[in-house]
Amino acid sequence: MPTLSVFMDVPLAHKLEGSLLKTYKQDDYPNKIFLAYRVCMTNEGHPWVSLVVQKTRLQVSQDPSLNYEYLPTMGLKSFIQASLALLFGKHSQAIVENRVGGVHTVGDSGAFQLGVQFLIAWHKDARIVYIISSQKELHGLIFQDMGFTVYEYSIWDPKKLCMDPDILLNVVESKQIFPFFDIPCQGLYTSDLEEDTRILQYFVSQGFEFFCSQSLSKNFGIYDEGVGILVVVAVNNQQLLCVLSQLEGLAQALWLNPPNTGARIITSILSNPALLGEWKQSLKEVVENIMLTKEKVKEKLRLLGTPGSWGHITEQSGTHGYLGLNSQQVEYLVRKKHIYIPKNGQINFSCINANNINYITEGINEAVLLAESSEMCLPKEKKTLIGIKL
């Protein structure tokens, strides 16, 4: 009988994330507010689920023709096809040329895990990653854990106040890096599905090969199913098939079979024009609602006479955006007002509703009056590109 633990050298790990949420949950203050949820919230403060998803979920669970057999390792074929068409457009040249494919992946980081395992296997020296983004924390830590040296890179031009895809392209070419895009919530930026993936079309049109992590959890409100795809764009069909076949082996060791429920619901919606229309409409409503919230926040700060210009709030698209507060102001809001905001001041605007907007804007006003902000230049777009040096 063994006496010493095999695990005796294993220490308690530092938490990667979640400590803000933990502190929030332990806070007894009755009016505490958490503005850093990853999911899109309704006006009632619940996680948003597209109504058409609820309906389809019920239909799927009542359908006697469905079986519950293992999915193949590559996943649900119809799901992959429908999702790729959503990402690139049905008439995408790359899809027509059969050089775009995908693997059905698991959770929000499964596509990155699978893609990076492939790149390490075939480019053994790949150990440097450039994260070109305004919201980089989780990605960076994951790559660090996988043994990469992580460089953060901003392509935001503070003079032109824009993110020029040409600058992005130059970066990728001059540093010889392999692009790995992250599309976490297509349709939740501008509600225009095509507009939200324009950067991909641009890279395709320039003949680049790349990977993309396409998540479909947030834009359908199926957060707990973590449905995604590792998208592969190759120069031709032959190369694509080679890459996919190697990815299959890796996915087999990772999870063997991806889960079905989320993919089944999404496929039902994407392949039915009426349901697709309902889903698009629900995206539009969510995006409009968030924009309205941002307008209200800006207007309330104006009425309070809060120093500073708050135009950046409404200039940013998507659920998450920067308030433009410095770390002192953020700390004031967390400690004194029990309004929980990440250190970088990026909040989830869908967490603001009629019940808490006054408390939040008054809190911001107090924070700014106590510690006036230095002029800040905030990125208005949140596209993320992971560049891996091969």
Interface with a copy of itself in residues 220-259 (CB under 8 A): 221-226, 234-236, 239, 241-243, 245-246, 248-250, 252-259
Q: How far is the CB of 239 from a copy of itself (least distance, A)?
A: 5
Part in contact with a copy of itself (CB under 8 A); list of ranges 65-73, 159-167, 266-274, 367-375? 65-73
Contact partners, residue 259, CB within 8 Å, separation at least 6: 71, 106, 225, 227
In the window 177-206, what residues touch a copy of itself (CB under 8 A)?
A: 178, 206
Tell which one of 19, 31, 61, 98 touches a copy of itself (CB under 8 A): 61
Closest distance to a copy of itself from the beta carbon of 80 (Å): 15
Q: Is 362 in the site for a copy of itself (CB under 8 A)?
A: no
Binding segment toward a copy of itself, per CB under 8 A, in 110-118, 129-137, 183-191, 283-291: 110-118
- Please identify, using beta-carbon distances, which residue of 12 and 273 lies nearer to a copy of itself: 12
101 binds a copy of itself (CB under 8 A): no
Binding segment for a copy of itself (CB under 8 A), chosen from 87-95, 159-167, 219-227, 307-315, is 219-227
In the complex, least distance from residue 381 CB atom to a copy of itself, rounded to whole angstroms: 23
Amino acid present at 225: E
In whole angstroms, give the CA distance from residue 373 to residue 347.
Answer: 17
**Residues numbered 117-156 forming contacts with a copy of itself, rule: CB under 8 A:** 122, 142, 145-146
Q: Which is nearer to a copy of itself, 38 or 280 (CB)?
A: 38
**Taking the complex as a whole, how short is the minimal distance between the CB of residue 139 and a copy of itself, in angstroms?**
10
Spell out the SS3 assignment of the chain.
CCCCCCCCCCCCCCCCCCHHHHHHHHCCCCCCEECCCCCCECCCCCECCCHHHHHHHHHHHHCCCCCCCCCCCCCCHHHHHHHHHHHHCCCCHHHHCCCEEEEEEECCCHHHHHHHHHHHHHCCCCCEEEEECCCCHHHHHHHHHCCCEEEEECCCECCCCECCHHHHHHHHHHCCEEEEEEECCCCCCCCCCCHHHHHHHHHHHCCCCEEEEEECCCCCCCHHHCEEEEEEECCCHHHHHHHHHHHHHHHHHHCCCCCCHHHHHHHHHHCCHHHHHHHHHHHHHHHHHHHHHHHHHHHHHHHCCCCCCCHHHHHCCCCEEECCCCHHHHHHHHHHHCEECCCCCEEEHHHCCCCCHHHHHHHHHHHHHHCCCCCCCCCCCCCEEEEEEC
Return the range that interacts with a copy of itself (CB under 8 A); candidates 12-20, 287-295, 325-333, 361-369.
12-20
Indicate which single residue of 39, 82, 132, 275 sits in contact with a copy of itself (rule: CB under 8 A). Answer: 39
Q: Identify residues 254-313 at the interface with a copy of itself (CB under 8 A).
A: 254-262
- Stretch of 109-117, 128-136, 267-275, 288-296 lying at the interface with a copy of itself (CB under 8 A): 109-117
| Interface with a copy of itself in residues 307-346 (CB under 8 A) | none
By CB under 8 A, tell whether 207 contacts a copy of itself: yes
Question: What's the closest the beta carbon of residue 298 comes to a copy of itself, in angstroms?
Answer: 29
Kindly state whether residue 174 participates in binding a copy of itself, applying the rule CB under 8 A.
Answer: no
